[in-house]
Structure 1
Amino acid sequence: MDWTIMMTRSTQILLVALALAVPAAALAAPPHAHAHDHRPLHGGVVVEVRDVDYELVASKDELRMFLRDHGKPMDVGQVSARLTLLTGTERQDVSLLPAGTHLEARGSFRIGKGTKVVAAVSRHGKTLGTVRFDLP
């Protein structure tokens, strides 16, 4: 006698459910455990991209960006960033260069509530990441 005929309906449903669950569990990404938090350490706005925390501190006369890799400060000696500030219909492009432990630009910046910032960050000419900030 054929074994599929002998299986009960509930057994068949259980086998189908297991057959569907096993591949899904195998393809699921492992949990992303962080040993650090993403709080701003310098009073700015933090965004994480590829395990790097980018903290942007913005004022009308200074822009600073701090980078942390897995919670540890990154050496920014060979890092630069090109920022595009979008405030309402106004656009301003700014370059950030190394200044000790962070990247920095000084000048006159159009920063206001709701300003959006897109940062293209690179090291040795290779892109580290593109980061989008919404300023409060």
Structure 2
Amino acid sequence: MKTLISTLGLAVLLAAAPAIAHEDHGKSMHGGFVLDAGHAQFEIVGKGDTVTVHVSDHGKPVATAGAAGKLTILTGSSKREIELKPAGTDLLQGAGTINPGDRVLLNVGWPGQKPMSARTTVKKENAHAGHH
């Protein structure tokens, strides 16, 4: 019976949580495209020859100190990788470009934590940031 009560209590708490936190969930805040992986959200922005990944958790910045990552980009049958390193409070950066139609696989890990990964295909409207 205790389990049932705590499960119901949790459901009530979750239902009462403000919806504001989820309003911007999945939306681009920096002109890139958004991927969800684990408890974090990654917005990937290509500008010139630099790819920047903004890391957040329900809109709150996630510290990237100590984190390391990799973007694997598949264009047709060719494959290239962009190594991502911390570049600011909640940023990872690497040298490379992303184009419409590319398939992107993101892998990011922090010391002592299970790595997170997500994948998507870049749509035309999401890649505009790469052509400034």
Percent identity between the two aligned chains: 32
| RMSD (Å) for aligned C-alpha atoms | 2.6
1:105 alignment partner, one of 87, 94, 99: 94
Q: TM-score, normalised by structure 2?
A: 0.69
Q: TM-score, normalised by structure 1?
A: 0.68
Q: Which among 102, 105, 108 is matched to residue 115 of structure 1?
A: 102
For structure 2, list consecutive stretches of 5 or more residues without a partner in the other structure: 1-6, 124-132
Moved over 4 A (4+): 30-34
Is 1:80 the counterpart of 2:68? The answer is yes
**Does residue 1:92 correspond to 2:85, yes or no?**
no
Letter in 2 for 1:117: V
Greater Rg over alpha carbons, structure: 1
Contact 1:121 1:127 in 2 (8 A): no
Q: Which amino acid counterpart does residue 61 of structure 1 have in structure 2?
A: D
Shift of 1:127: 2.9
Q: Deviations over 1:37-72 (max 9, x none)?
A: 221111110122233111111245111111101220
SS at match of 1:127: coil
Give the structure, 1 or 2, with the largest relative contact order (CA under 8 Å, sep 6 or more): 2
Question: SS of 1:126's equivalent?
Answer: coil
